[in-house]
């Protein structure tokens, strides 16, 4: 069974930066626009700030979304953000409070990227500022009027909150990644357990995968965990004294609008008296079992829009299967 990479995970960081960029540029637009109004800036200045405030965030998002390495693209986008900041500091004639706020806010959201990146983005801001002075001669007027002070209030209050929001979201991403690593370690332990159980008997394994089956969209760790549970149950079932031959078959097939994954064993089979309760929580046929394995499998599969069940086997034993729907773009 094949799977498609989940682009949403790779793009979570650029998406958070995109939201921060939108939230930050809105109050920043008010501050810069107020200063432009005070200095009676020409139309070209207004066109520049409109492009940076309303067009650039979406362009930056698309650049990150369609690059092979969205994180690297986002670092480039953040450097361009700093260059825009240097441009507007010069175009505002270095009006003291707005200039300090723009420089400070654009530096604040890059501290977490490390000192080298902060230095590089700050250099981009300085170079853009100097180039604007040389090319356009905007003048120098560091005084700050009351109107500019009022216009700077949104940037002083809203942007730090936006940075705090983005920091919280980034922290949540780190926590999710740590959880995924822990789940992967647990999965490896499960696989090691299966390997140890497999050495108890001569457990013949057949893999019958349909390479033509369409793609499905799934969480690899969750579905692997469910598959490991089914394989472990099959191996333990074949350790029953009545199982003279041990055969394990794992197969995938297209079934309607889904891909079916089946795990078949040559154990004693399923007792009809308990067949209806197999997937109920805390129901187990093993003396040492908690009765959660199949229930967890069912929850994981159903969370992916699939279903799980059993089938009769014409060669004895039991067949457990689960089905997952095709990915929307391969149906």
Per residue in 134-166, pLDDT (tens digit) is 999 999 999 999 999 999 998 888 767 766 666
Q: Return the C-alpha torsion angle 181, 182, 184, 190, nearest 10.
A: 170
Q: Using the 8-state DSSP alphabet, how is residue 111 labeled?
A: G
More confidently predicted of 254 and 314: 254
Q: Please, which pLDDT band fits residue 88 given cuts at 50, 70 and 90?
A: very high
Q: Can you count the helices (H) and strands (E) in the chain?
A: 10, 5
SS (H, E, C) 64-81: HHCCCCHHHHHHHHHHHH
- pLDDT of 10 higher than 60: no
pLDDT given for residue 177 in this prediction: 67
Q: What is the pLDDT of residue 23?
A: 74
pLDDT surpassing 70 at residue 5: no
User: Average pLDDT, whole number, for the chain?
Assistant: 80
What are the domain boundaries of the chain?
Answer: 7-171, 200-325
Is the sign of the CA dihedral 51, 55, 59, 61 positive or negative?
A: positive
Checking DSSP bridges between strand 258-264 and strand 307-311, what pairing results, if any?
unpaired
Residues 177-198, mean pLDDT to the nearest whole number: 69
| Residue 52 confidence (pLDDT) above 80 | yes
Q: What is the pLDDT of residue 48?
A: 93
Look at residue 287 and tell me whether its pLDDT is greater than 90: no
Q: Which CATH class is domain 200-325?
A: alpha beta
- Residue 197 has what pLDDT? 58
Pair 310, 264: CB distance under 8 Å: no
3-class SS of residue 169: helix
Q: Is the pLDDT of residue 254 over 60?
A: yes
pTM of the model: 0.51
Name the band, by pLDDT with cuts 50, 70 and 90, for residue 2: very low
Between 108 and 145, the more confident residue is 145
Confidence band, pLDDT 50/70/90 cuts, at residue 84:
very high
More confident residue, 106 or 112: 106
Q: Is the pLDDT of residue 199 over 80?
A: no
Range with lowest mean pLDDT among 17-26, 37-46, 198-207: 198-207
Is residue 280 very low, low, confident or very high in pLDDT (cuts 50, 70, 90)? Answer: low
pLDDT at 33 over 90: yes
Query: How high is the pLDDT of residue 11?
Result: 66
Q: How far apart are CA 301 and CA 218, in angstroms?
A: 9
Section 255-280 average pLDDT = 80
Task: Compute the average pLDDT of residues 3-17.
Answer: 57
DSSP label at residue 268: S
Is the per-residue pLDDT at 291 higher than 80? no
Asked whether residue 211 carries a pLDDT value surpassing 70, the answer given is: yes
- Predicted local distance difference test score (pLDDT) of residue 163: 66
Region 209-230: mean pLDDT is 83
């Amino acid at each position: 069974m094949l799977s498609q990479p989940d682009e949403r995970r790779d793009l979570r960081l650029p998406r958070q930066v995109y939201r921060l960029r939108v939230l930050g540029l809105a109050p920043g637009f008010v501050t810069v626009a107020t200063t432009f109004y005070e200095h009676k800036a020409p139309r070209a200045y207004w066109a520049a700030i409109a492009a940076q405030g309303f067009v650039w965030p979406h362009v930056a998002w698309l650049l990150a979304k369609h690059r092979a390495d969205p994180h690297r693209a986002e670092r480039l986008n953040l450097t361009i953000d700093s260059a825009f900041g240097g441009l507007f500091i010069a175009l505002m004639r270095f009006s003291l409070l707005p200039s300090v706020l723009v420089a400070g806010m654009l530096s604040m959201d890059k501290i977490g990227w490390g000192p080298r990146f902060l230095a590089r983005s700050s250099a981009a801001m300085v170079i853009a500022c100097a180039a604007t002075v040389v090319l356009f001669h905007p003048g120098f007027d560091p005084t700050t009027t009351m109107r500019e002070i009022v216009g700077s209030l949104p940037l002083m209050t809203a942007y730090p909150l936006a940075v705090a929001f983005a920091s919280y979201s980034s922290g949540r991403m780190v926590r999710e990644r740590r959880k995924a690593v822990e789940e992967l370690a647990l999965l490896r332990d499960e696989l090691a357990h299966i390997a140890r159980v497999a050495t108890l008997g001569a457990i013949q394994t057949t893999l019958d995968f349909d390479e033509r089956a369409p793609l499905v969209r799934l969480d690899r760790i969750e579905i692997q965990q469910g598959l490991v549970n089914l394989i472990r149950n099959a191996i333990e079932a074949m350790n029953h004294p009545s199982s003279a031959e041990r055969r394990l078959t794992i197969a995938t097939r297209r079934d309607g609008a889904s891909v079916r994954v089946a795990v078949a064993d040559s154990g004693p089979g399923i007792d009809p008296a308990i067949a209806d309760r197999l997937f109920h929580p805390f129901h187990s046929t093993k003396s040492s079992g908690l009765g959660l394995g199949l229930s967890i499998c069912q929850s994981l599969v159903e969370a992916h829009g699939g279903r799980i069940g059993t089938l009769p086997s014409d060669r004895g034993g039991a067949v457990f299967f689960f089905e997952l729907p095709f990915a929307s773009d391969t149906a």
